[in-house]
Amino acid sequence: AVRGAACVLHCIPSQHTPRFVRENAGIFPAGVPYVSTSKGVHRESHMLMSDAIADALGEHRSRIPLAFLSGPSFAKEMMAGHPMMVVVASNPLETAERVQAVVNSPKFRIYVTDDVIGVEVGGALKNPLAIGAGMASGLGYGQSTIAGLVTRGCREMAMLSIALGGRAETLAGLSGAGDLMLTCFSTLSRNNRFGSALERGKTVDEAISEIGEVVEGYPTAAEVA
């Protein structure tokens, strides 16, 4: 599947990412960007995906350039051809620019940055905040409440990014405010629906079963609490 690839897109749930990478690192082609779309904090290692993937690559790390894609993009809307914008982060920036050249299209606009931490923090923390937005909605609160949650949430993401070595301005962009607005205001968001289900009296297991997909914000919430 990866033979002759211009880049490899990694779309594995964050809690399963390190194991998958360890088991398959040997088949990733040398020099080809490995682009993670996974968002979250790995509970066992307490690492962002950028650190967890690098660690899981082990002896193969030096030959695999890593990049991290994030931003407001629902898969269903992408498949329907809706125009959208995302950001790819890598350090060095050249790797992100290579991914941009391969994946960029008129309906899928890619921007680049070298602030991997900022992009990763935005992608990880927007999910627990979307759960909170879903809970607020489930309690019957309106858009004013959720707007306040989003605004303060974006501030908290920026503060954490700075503490970890990222840049605050990254969180004002697509991977921060952009993705946060999408997940907090839309019921297409799994994390939003999960929070709403909890407030309707569902247990965690019942809510996850009802959604039928991975809810990345649930394990991440415990890591950032």
- Collapsing DSSP states into helix, strand and coil, what is residue 69? strand
Instruction: Copy the structure tokens of residue 96.
Output: 């992100």
Choosing from 39, 76, 126, 202, the catalytic residue is 126
Side-chain half-sphere of 59: how many Cα atoms within 13 Å?
Answer: 3
User: What's the per-residue H, E or C state across 133-154?
Assistant: HHHHHHCCCCHHHHHHHHHHHH
Is 126 one of the annotated active-site residues of the chain?
Answer: yes
| In the block, residue with structure tokens 């992608």 | 123
Q: What angle do CA 62, 67, 68 make, to 5 degrees?
A: 140
User: Which helix (H) or strand (E) element contains residue 34?
Assistant: strand 34-36
Instruction: Copy the structure tokens of residue 84.
Output: 């959208």
- Collapsing DSSP states into helix, strand and coil, what is residue 162? helix
Dihedral angle sign, alpha carbons of residues 146, 148, 152, 157: positive
Q: How far from the centroid of its chain's Cα atoms is residue 164's Cα? A: 17
DSSP tally for the chain: helices H, then strands E: 10, 7
In DSSP terms, 9 is beta-bridged to: 35
Catalytic residues, which ones? 126
